[in-house]
Amino acid sequence: MARPKVVGEVKREVNERAPPSDPCPHDWLSEESTGLYEEKSRSGEAFDLYISTLAESRIRRQATKAAPDRLEVMGLLLGEVRRWRGKAYAVVVNVGTTDLENTQAKVRFDPDAMPGLFKELDGAGFDYIVVGWYHSHPGHTCFLSRIDLRTQRTLFDQPYHSALVVDPVNREVKAFKLLEGGYTEVPFALVSEGGPKLRRLRAKVQG
Ligand SMILES: [Zn+2]
């Protein structure tokens, strides 16, 4: 897959801003992931990743719709990178996706649909950056395959880039980041802030 233009390395100001005040856990977290979530909550530090309930529901709906045929789905995580007490964190406000070439074990954007995706992204109505990607593993749990890891290293190699994997059959979700020589699970939190803000901006754009 060609590197999407939207991943372009534009240097931006990272705003110093306290993390969202209403974090809550995803209800598809495994016992182990719940442990990671609670540990992070207790630490008082910012999570690496916050996902708006709007973005989460779009991902879940897309993955669940394709689940009966066991088809994988994917898309881009769009949002902001901010900083708090010396630590950068990402907030996913919305997602971007397009037509897919998908099977039960593989998924990629349909190359013919990429112009449509870029148009959708340009019309997103807010000033986003790509903070990662998501895809589904219908029925085979959440991890990064060798190919997923290659995708992460090729396209999503910034410290703020995450990979969200969702299994709509086993009702499981995990977020991952690159780690020297491999990858690691990172706890993430759901927040309500993305939706209303996006709708407001869209309303403004549409006049
Ligand atoms: Zn995968």
Considering the domain boundaries, does residue 152 fall inside one? yes
Q: Indicate which CATH number applies to the domain containing 147.
A: 3.40.140.10
13 CA to centre of ligand 1 in angstroms? 32
Distance CA 110, CA 78 (A): 19
Q: pLDDT value at position 125? A: 66
Residue 44 included in any domain: yes
pLDDT beyond 50 at 204: no
Q: Which residues have C-beta under 5 Å from ligand 1, the single-atom ion?
A: 145, 148
pLDDT, average across residues 1-12: 52
The parent domain of residue 177 ranges over 20-205
Residue 167 lies in a domain: yes
Contact 165, 136 (CB under 8 A): yes
pLDDT at 201 over 60: no
| Angle, alpha carbons 26-165-87 (nearest 5°) | 70
51-55, 68-72, 85-89, 110-114, range with the lowest pLDDT? 110-114
Mean pLDDT across 149-172: 94
Q: Is residue 128 part of a domain?
A: yes
Number of domains the chain is built from:
1
Q: Is residue 12 included in any domain, yes or no?
A: no
**Residue 170 reports pLDDT greater than 60:** yes
43 phi, psi to nearest 5 deg:
-70, -20
Token reading at 96? 């971007």
Q: Is residue 14 part of a domain?
A: no
pLDDT band with cut points at 50, 70 and 90 for residue 200: very low
Does 156 fall in a domain? Answer: yes
Q: What is the pLDDT of residues 73-92, one digit of tens each?
A: 999 999 999 999 989 999 99
- Cα 206 to ligand 1 centre (Å): 37
176 assigned to some structural domain? yes
Note the helical H segments in the chain: 31-43, 53-66, 114-122, 146-155, 194-205
Ligand 1 center to residue 164 CA distance, Å? 10
